[in-house]
Structure 1
Amino acid sequence: MKNIAIILAGGTGQRLGDSIPKQFLKVAGKKVIEHTLDVFQNHPQIDEIAVVSNPNFLNEIENIAIKNNYTKLKKILQGGKERYHSSLSAINAYDGDKEINLIFHDAVRPLVNDRIISDCIAALDKYKAVDVAIKTTDTIIKVNEDEYITGIPARDYLRNGQTPQAFKLSTIKQAYKLALCDPDFKTTDDCGVVYKYMPNELVYVVKGEQFNMKLTYKEDLFLLDKLFQLKSIAQQNETITPKAQQKLPVSVIVVFGGSYGIGLDVVNICNGYGAHVYSFSRSENGVDVSNNLLVAKALKEVFEKEGRIDAVINTAGVLDKEPLVNMSYNEIYKSINVNYIGAVIVAKESYSYLKESKGVLLLFTSSSYTRGRSLYSLYSSSKAAIVNLVQALSEEWYDYGIRINCINPERTKTPMRTKNFGMEPEESLLKSSVVAAVSINSLFSSMTGEVIDVKIKR
Structure 2
Amino acid sequence: MRKNVAVILAGGSGTRAGYEKPKQFMKIAGKLVIEHTIERFQKHPLIDEIAIVSHADFLTLIEEIVNHNSYDKVKKILQGGKERYESSLTAIEAYDEDLHLIFHDAVRPLVSDRIIKDVVEALNRYNAVDVAIPAADTIIEVENDRIVNIPDRSRLYRGQTPQGFRRETIKKAYDFALQDSAFKVTDDCGVVKRYLPEEKIYVVAGEEANMKLTYKEDFYLLDKLFQLKSIQNLDNDPSLLKRLEGKSIVVFGASYGIGQSIVELAEANGAHVHGFSRQKGKVDVSDPKSVAEALRSVYEKKGAIDYVINTAGLLHKEPLNHMDYSRIEEEIRVNYLGSVNVAKESFRYLKETKGALLLFTSSSYTRGRAMYSIYSSTKAAIVNFVQAIASEWEPFGVTVNCINPERTATPMRRRTFGKEDEKTLLQPTDVARVSLQSLLLDATGQVIDVRLANLENG
Secondary structure in structure 2 of the residue aligned to 1:171: helix
In the alignment, the residues of structure 1 paired with residue 199 and residue 152 of structure 2 have an alpha-carbon distance, to the nearest angstrom, of 25
In structure 2, the residue matched to 1:57 is 58
Contact 1:229/1:452 (CA < 8 Å) preserved in 2? no
In the alignment, the residues of structure 2 paired with residue 439 and residue 369 of structure 1 have an alpha-carbon distance, to the nearest angstrom, of 18
Of the candidates 169, 175, 179, which is equivalent to residue 177 of structure 1? 175
In structure 1, the residue matched to 2:102 is 103
Secondary structure in structure 2 of the residue aligned to 1:387: helix
* Deviation of the 1:234 alpha carbon: 4.2
* Deviation of the 1:306 alpha carbon: 2.5
In structure 2, the residue matched to 1:163 is 161
Q: Which amino acid aligns with 2:50?
A: I
Closer, same or farther: CA 373–221 of 1 in aligned 2, 3 Å: same
Q: Which amino acid aligns with 2:165?
A: F
CA offsets, 1:257-292, max 9 Å, x none?
Answer: 112110111111111111122111111111111111
In structure 2, the residue matched to 1:294 is 290
In structure 1, the residue matched to 2:332 is 336
5+ residue gaps, structure 1: none
* Deviation of the 1:58 alpha carbon: 1.3
Of the candidates 192, 195, 202, which is equivalent to residue 194 of structure 1? 192
Matches within 5 A, 1:296-311: 296-311=292-307
Secondary structure in structure 2 of the residue aligned to 1:368: helix
In the alignment, the residues of structure 2 paired with residue 301 and residue 188 of structure 1 have an alpha-carbon distance, to the nearest angstrom, of 61
2:73 corresponds to 1:72? yes
2:221 corresponds to 1:239? no
Q: Which amino acid aligns with 1:198?
A: L
In structure 2, the residue matched to 1:18 is 19
Q: Which amino acid aligns with 1:40?
A: F
In structure 1, the residue matched to 2:210 is 212
2:111 corresponds to 1:115? no
5+ residue gaps, structure 2: none
In the alignment, the residues of structure 1 paired with residue 110 and residue 235 of structure 2 have an alpha-carbon distance, to the nearest angstrom, of 26
In structure 2, the residue matched to 1:401 is 397
Range with bigger deviation, 388-397 or 166-175: 388-397
* Deviation of the 1:209 alpha carbon: 1.0
Contact 1:240/1:441 (CA < 8 Å) preserved in 2? no
2:155 corresponds to 1:154? no
In the alignment, the residues of structure 2 paired with residue 159 and residue 362 of structure 1 have an alpha-carbon distance, to the nearest angstrom, of 40
Matches within 5 A, 1:357-368: 357-368=353-364
RMSD of the alignment, in Å? 1.6
Range with bigger deviation, 188-197 or 25-34: 25-34
In structure 2, the residue matched to 1:349 is 345
Normalising by structure 2, report the TM-score. 0.95
In structure 2, the residue matched to 1:431 is 427
Contact 1:238/1:433 (CA < 8 Å) preserved in 2? no
| Identical residues among aligned pairs (%) | 60
* Deviation of the 1:240 alpha carbon: 4.8
In structure 1, the residue matched to 2:244 is 248
Closer, same or farther: CA 306–75 of 1 in aligned 2, 3 Å: farther
Secondary structure in structure 2 of the residue aligned to 1:407: strand
Range with bigger deviation, 56-65 or 369-378: 369-378
Contact 2:231/2:447 (CA < 8 Å) preserved in 1? no
In structure 1, the residue matched to 2:9 is 8
* Deviation of the 1:440 alpha carbon: 1.1
2:319 corresponds to 1:323? yes
In structure 2, the residue matched to 1:258 is 254
In the alignment, the residues of structure 1 paired with residue 248 and residue 350 of structure 2 have an alpha-carbon distance, to the nearest angstrom, of 11
* Deviation of the 1:241 alpha carbon: 6.0
Residues matched between the structures, number = 453
Secondary structure in structure 1 of the residue aligned to 2:16: coil
In structure 2, the residue matched to 1:124 is 123
In structure 2, the residue matched to 1:412 is 408
